[in-house]
Amino acid sequence: MYQIVPHKRVIKFINSRNPKDKQIIKKKFEQLQQNPYPQNTQIDSKKLQNKDGFRLRIGGNRGDIY
């Protein structure tokens, strides 16, 4: 299993969401921990350009994961 380390701005953003959104985000993070390089379209993640890390899009929201 891999470890997900969200940026501090991502943590602040997650804490400001409603409980339903938090649950969705938690589920996506758990899926990423199992397979950080998914081949399916359920997880929309891409490598950040000129930075170490990835971005994860959930719905209309995007967070950077380092």
pLDDT tens for residues 5-64? 888 988 998 999 889 889 988 888 888 888 777 665 667 777 788 887 777 777 766 565
Give the pLDDT confidence score for residue 48 in this predicted structure: 81
SS3 content of the chain, % helix, strand, coil (to 5): 35, 25, 40
Residue 65 confidence (pLDDT): 54
Per-residue pLDDT, 12: 93
- The whole-model pTM stands at 0.68
What pLDDT does 66 receive? Answer: 47
> What is the pLDDT, as a whole number, of residue 19?
92
Give the residue among 33, 20, 15 at the shortest CA–CA distance from 59: 20
> How many Cβ atoms sit within 10 Å of the Cβ of residue 53?
13
